[in-house]
């Protein structure tokens, strides 16, 4: 596999990594909350956007992103990355050149 050439100076976005925490609701179910699990520098690349079905008369659009981070932080699918009011749900995490230097998170931007 070819080694990825990447400028770490391109990691200009400061993100907060959040992990899900389920709390019992007292009725046999759970309420999902989010807890901060650290901060990291990242490069956010918009990849595509697709229109979805109409909801309440407005078109809903999901924007997908590729977020590059250092391999020191090891997020997993199901977690999320936050930049201000923007939420990025992590769908998959991969090592683009299998060198253990960088990770790429395939994300969907979600509404808060």
For the chain, which ranges sit under pLDDT 70?
A: 1, 49-63
> Would you say residue 70 lies in a domain?
yes
> Would you say residue 1 lies in a domain?
no
> Would you say residue 47 lies in a domain?
yes
Q: Say what the pLDDT of residue 112 is.
A: 73
> What range defines the domain where residue 68 resides?
8-110
Q: Write the CATH number for 34.
A: 2.40.10.270
Cβ-count burial of 63 within 10 angstroms (0-12 exposed, 13-18 middle, 19+ buried)? Answer: middle
Beta strand 80-83 with 86-94 is antiparallel
Q: Say what the pLDDT of residue 105 is.
A: 94
> Would you say residue 2 lies in a domain?
no
Q: Number of structural domains, the chain?
A: 1
Q: Say what the pLDDT of residue 8 is.
A: 79
Q: Say what the pLDDT of residue 87 is.
A: 95
Q: What is the pLDDT of residues 27-56, one digit of tens each?
A: 999 999 999 999 999 999 999 866 555 556
pTM for this model (two decimals): 0.81
């Amino acid at each position: 596999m070819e080694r990825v050439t990447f400028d770490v100076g391109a990691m200009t976005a400061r993100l907060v990594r959040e992990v899900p925490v389920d709390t019992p609701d007292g009725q046999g179910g759970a309420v999902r909350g989010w807890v901060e699990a650290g901060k990291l520098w990242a490069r956010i690349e918009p990849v595509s956007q697709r229109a979805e079905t109409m909801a309440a008369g407005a078109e809903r659009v999901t924007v997908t992103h590729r977020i590059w981070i250092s391999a020191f932080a090891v997020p997993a699918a199901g977690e999320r990355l936050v930049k201000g009011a923007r939420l990025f749900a992590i769908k998959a995490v991969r090592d683009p050149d299998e060198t253990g230097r960088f990770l790429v998170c395939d994300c969907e931007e979600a509404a808060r």
